[in-house]
């Protein structure tokens, strides 16, 4: 209730005074008053300070004003529930919430459910409003003011990126710590990964499910690479997934810039994932765009783009005392310019990639590096030597070990070293890593902890495959090209020339942002990539296109859920009904509107 609104009751006598007052009239002599009797009777009520007559319009106007005052006081039916709760409302803003299986879409449906939750709060309840998107946003801190909460609702926005509410739930756990009767309300379709980490957290989670079905097919993978059999061609790999329980007929169209270069019809069985490759001639840099034609529930996964550039030859400097196996493997890689030296030139002499073959160097090269055995102590700290280490496991999912099989490879001796903070183990021995890879100081490095000539690896078919993979992963132009195509929601990092003060970014919706350049690292980090499409970077005389895509099987193919799992033994079901403080002001205003219509009808009927 808002008792202060009853001060407006002082306006009720104004209606009565208006009925008592009348204008002064001039007296005229007439021959007869018969025709004036009705007119005088109607105007006698306008004489001031006379006896108040029983007039229906007066009572209707007084009643209408009383209803307005009563509505301003915001009366409600009190619930039997204990008040004073802390509510944490989390709204899922991921791409799947744009699905149109409910009108107008799942995101707007979740806003309506949130509105009902806010309306049902008691005066002693407070609410925190969080948006679970690419990052968790606190749209409103804890407050009892429903007006502030409704204003915060207006700042909710859905993204074209995949996300999970895990970060928002972790924040909610912090907010409800040491509070009585907390509740965490998640407004979502459940199209996200596992939440097993909350199994033993005693999270008082209530799911408000949205969504009715999934009738959607989307592009969940896209990549453009050089065709190894024809350097003038690009192999464009596209993966399409059907998330529905029905067969879907779709046409996939591929464009290079504005030109249509290929199309293919797909018949997708229920829950089927299909991959295909398009071989396309490419004579210039440009953008490949794949578009899935046809109507479904989600539009943001029907289109994906990839920036495809023609990489220049990679300049490789091999520093070795003599290794024909390594030299032959490098020369077999296409589009590579190899120079062989016995000592490292100063600053790597403009090389894109330096290969160190069991040689010590005075300083680490200012380039990407593939190093075998020896290394300076400021990069790799060697502690001991290990005799005949066995290869236990290797990461086949990493690009440098794709299609690489290390079974049967024997090593006579390897170096034991302290794992650097930038390194990730690629090949594991029994007690140590044998191959690591990582990035530091804006350069990539692959370190192999043994001498090739002290192993049988050069005699295996996996060695030239590894070398081709490693050179491709370490190629600066490939690294730069990989940054031009990324998942929506991933921070965009871009290096710029020295002396560049700022970068202007044009978003897919043509709005513009200006980012100041980090003068120490000569790069920008742009996080507002929640829209899918092409971003344009302008800095000085340079222009660069980058593409953000959804490419998420979870967002495209996960049906809406009515409950979510919080581990093996814990689940959170849909929202449950409970008595709430039901406000009456809407119905009072409706009654007031009907009363106004009744007064209008009576007045015109009486004066007709």
Instruction: Check: CB of residue 84 under 8 Å from CB of residue 183.
Output: no
Residue 547 has pLDDT above 90, yes or no: yes
Distance between first and last Cα of the chain = 43
Residue 48: predicted pLDDT: 53
The pairing of strands 86-92 and 273-281 is: unpaired
Considering only CA atoms, which of 462, 445, 322 is closest in space to residue 394?
Answer: 462
CA–CA gap between residue 524 and residue 501 (Å, rounded):
10
pLDDT at residue 229, as a whole number: 77
Rounded CA separation 106/309 (Å): 38
Per-residue pLDDT tens over the stretch 382-392: 889 999 999 99
- pLDDT at residue 596, as a whole number: 73
Residue 479 — φ and ψ, nearest 5°? -60, -45
CA 417, chain centre distance (Å): 40
Res 334: pLDDT: 86
Residue 62: its pLDDT value, please?
73
Q: Would you place residue 83 in the very low, low, confident or very high pLDDT band (cuts 50, 70, 90)?
A: low
State how far the Cα of 153 lies from the Cα of 133, in Å rounded to an integer: 15
For 153-183, the pLDDT digits (tens) are 999 999 999 989 999 999 999 999 988 889 9
pLDDT on residue 475: 93
State which H helix or E strand residue 504 sits in: strand 502-506
Per the structure block, which two tokens stand in for 366?
Answer: 């200012």
pTM score, whole prediction: 0.73
pLDDT of residue 522: 87
pLDDT for position 578: 47
Residue 369 scores a pLDDT above 80: yes
Least confident of 104-113, 189-198, 490-499, 566-575: 566-575
Q: Which fold has domain 218-311?
A: Immunoglobulin-like (2.60.40)
Confidence class of residue 478 from pLDDT cuts 50, 70 and 90? confident
**What is residue 289's predicted lDDT score, i.e. its pLDDT?**
97
404 in helix, strand or coil?
coil
> Phi/psi at 84 (nearest 5 deg)?
90, 25
Band (pLDDT 50/70/90 cuts) for residue 506 is very high
CA distance 291 to 286: 16
Superfamily of domain 86-212+560-583, CATH level 4 = von Willebrand factor, type A domain (3.40.50.410)
Residue 433 has a pLDDT of 95
d(CA 229, CA 239): 22
Give the domain 483-549 fold: Immunoglobulin-like (2.60.40)
pLDDT digits (tens, 9 = 90+) for 131-153: 999 899 999 999 999 999 999 99
The Cα–Cα gap between 412 and 452 comes to 10
218-311 matches 483-549 in fold: yes
pLDDT, tens only, 32-79: 555 556 555 555 544 555 555 666 666 767 777 777 776 776 665 555
Return the half-sphere exposure (C-beta side, CA atoms, 13 A cut-off) of residue 330.
Answer: 26
**Could you tell me which residue, 584 or 208, shows the higher pLDDT?**
208
Quote the CA–CA distance of 439 and 445 in Å, as a whole number: 6
How many residues can be counted in the chain?
A: 608
pLDDT band per the 50, 70, 90 thresholds, residue 26: low
Q: Over the stretch 233-283, which tens digit does the pLDDT of each residue have?
A: 899 999 999 999 999 999 999 999 999 999 999 899 999 999 999 999 998
pLDDT tens column, 288-319: 999 999 899 999 999 999 999 887 899 999 99
Q: What percentage of the chain exceeds 90 in pLDDT?
A: 60
State the pLDDT at residue 390: 94
Cis peptide before 95 (omega within 30 of 0): no
Q: Domain limits of the chain?
A: 3-75, 86-212+560-583, 218-311, 321-480, 483-549
Q: Is the pLDDT of residue 594 over 90?
A: no
- Taking the domain 321-480, which CATH number applies? 3.40.50.880
Under the banding of pLDDT at 50, 70 and 90, the label for residue 573 is low
**Average model confidence (pLDDT) across the chain:** 86
Residues pairing with 33 in the sheet: none
Query: Which residue's entry shows tokens 């709204």?
Result: 91
Instruction: Please identify which residue in the block is written with the tokens 């903070």.
Output: 421
């Amino acid at each position: 209730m808002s008792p202060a609104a009853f001060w407006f009751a002082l306006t009720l006598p104004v209606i009565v005074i208006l009925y008592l007052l009348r204008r002064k009239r001039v007296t005229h002599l007439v021959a007869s008053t018969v025709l004036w009797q009705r007119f005088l009777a109607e105007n006698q009520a306008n004489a001031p300070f006379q006896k108040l007559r029983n007039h229906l319009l007066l009572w209707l106007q007084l009643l209408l004003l009383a209803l307005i005052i009563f509505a301003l006081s915001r009366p409600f039916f009190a619930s039997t529930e204990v008040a004073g709760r802390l509510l944490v409302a989390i709204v899922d803003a991921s791409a799947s919430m744009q699905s149109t299986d409910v009108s107008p879409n799942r995101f707007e449906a979740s806003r309506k459910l949130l509105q009902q939750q806010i309306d049902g709060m008691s005066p002693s309840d407070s609410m925190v409003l969080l948006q679970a998107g690419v990052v968790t946003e606190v749209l409103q801190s804890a407050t009892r003011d429903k007006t502030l909460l409704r204003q915060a609702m207006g700042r909710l926005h859905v993204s074209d990126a995949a996300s999970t509410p895990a970060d928002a739930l972790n924040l909610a756990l912090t907010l409800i710590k040491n509070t009585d009767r907390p509740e965490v309300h998640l407004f979502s379709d459940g199209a996200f990964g596992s939440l097993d980490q909350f199994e033993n957290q005693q999270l008082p989670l209530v799911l408000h499910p949205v969504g009715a079905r999934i009738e959607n097919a989307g592009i969940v993978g896209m990549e453009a690479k050089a065709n190894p059999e024809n350097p003038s061609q690009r192999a464009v790999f596209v993966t399409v997934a059907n998330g529905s329980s029905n067969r879907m007929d779709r046409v996939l169209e591929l464009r290079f810039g504005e030109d249509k270069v290929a199309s293919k019809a797909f018949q997708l069985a229920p829950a089927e994932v299909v991959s295909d490759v398009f071989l396309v001639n490419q004579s210039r840099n440009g953008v490949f765009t794949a578009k899935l034609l046809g109507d479904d529930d989600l539009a943001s996964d029907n289109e994906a783009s990839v920036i495809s550039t023609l990489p220049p030859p990679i300049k490789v400097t091999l520093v070795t005392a003599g290794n024909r196996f390594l030299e032959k493997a490098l020369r077999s890689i296409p589009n590579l310019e190899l120079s062989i030296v016995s000592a490292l030139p100063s600053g790597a002499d403009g090389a894109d990639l330096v290969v160190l073959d069991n040689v010590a160097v005075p300083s680490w090269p200012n380039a990407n590096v593939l190093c075998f055995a020896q290394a300076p102590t400021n990069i790799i700290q060697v502690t001991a030597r290990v005799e005949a280490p066995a290869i236990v496991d290797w990461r086949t999912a990493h690009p440098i070990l794709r299609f690489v099989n290390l079974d049967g490879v024997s090593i006579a001796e390897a170096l034991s070293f302290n794992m650097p903070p930038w390194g990730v183990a690629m090949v594991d021995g029994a007690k140590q890593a044998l191959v690591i890879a990582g990035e530091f100081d804006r350069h990539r490095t692959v370190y192999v902890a043994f001498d090739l000539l002290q192993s049988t690896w050069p005699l295996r078919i996996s060695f030239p495959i590894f070398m081709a993979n490693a050179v491709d992963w370490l190629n600066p132009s490939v690294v730069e090209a990989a940054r031009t195509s990324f998942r929506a929601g991933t921070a965009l990092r871009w290096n710029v020339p020295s002396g560049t003060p700022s970068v202007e970014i044009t978003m897919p919706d043509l709005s513009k942002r200006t980012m100041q350049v980090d003068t120490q690292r000569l790069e920008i980090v742009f996080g507002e990539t929640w829209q899918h499409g092409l971003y344009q970077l302008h800095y000085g005389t340079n222009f660069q296109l980058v593409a953000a895509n959804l490419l998420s099987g979870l967002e495209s193919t996960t049906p809406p859920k009515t409950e979510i799992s919080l581990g093996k033994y814990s689940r959170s079901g849909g929202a449950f009904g409970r008595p709430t403080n039901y406000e009456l002001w809407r119905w009072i205003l409706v009654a007031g509107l009907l009363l106004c219509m009744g007064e209008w009808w009576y007045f015109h009927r009486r004066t007709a």
